[in-house]
Amino acid sequence: MILRLTRRYRFAAAHRLHAAAFSQEANQQLYGKCNNPHGHGHDYVLEVSVAGPLDEATGRVANPAVLDRLVAQEVLACLDHRNLNAEVAEFSDAPPTTENLLRLIRQRLLARWPETLARTRLAGIRLYETRRNIFELAERS
């Protein structure tokens, strides 16, 4: 039996969608109002899911506090109340789209996956940018 635990987190960040490889006109056409030179912000909602077998001794798939610490240290500390373009090194060459943000979150979580979560795997990440824009990274089994 494989179980899944999903925890929800919130963070606020600002960004401007702009790709250096494209002209100003192309960026405006591609990103529209999100290409505003002054940027704009979002109140993101992040869901992180882990999956694994039930630990018979604890009756849990994972300790939520361990996952909370991992997300706080590796994701929220890096992104919360930041200008993604100016303050997050990974976005010096890439536009801080929500897709790229998901990729960064995944990389940061997996790079520091704690031994106490070794029985589990990252099962997915969902990031709510707005009420209408929801992005999901589903890990393969």
Q: Domain with 70 in it: what CATH number?
A: 3.30.479.10
Residues with active-site annotation: 34, 81, 129
Q: Is residue 50 in some structural domain?
A: yes
Q: Is residue 32 in some structural domain?
A: no
pLDDT at 138: 86
63-94: b (≥16 Cβ within 10 Å) or e: beeebeebbeebbeebbeebebbeebeebeee
Q: Is residue 30 in some structural domain?
A: no
Q: Is residue 35 in some structural domain?
A: no
What is the domain range of residue 111? 2-12+40-138
Mean pLDDT for back-to-back runs of 10 residues, the chain (141 residues)? 96 96 96 95 98 95 97 98 97 95 97 94 97 91 61
Q: Is residue 87 in some structural domain?
A: yes
Q: Is residue 74 in some structural domain?
A: yes
Overall number of domains in the chain: 1
Q: What is the pTM of this model?
A: 0.94
Q: Is residue 46 in some structural domain?
A: yes
Q: Is residue 77 in some structural domain?
A: yes
pLDDT at 141: 61
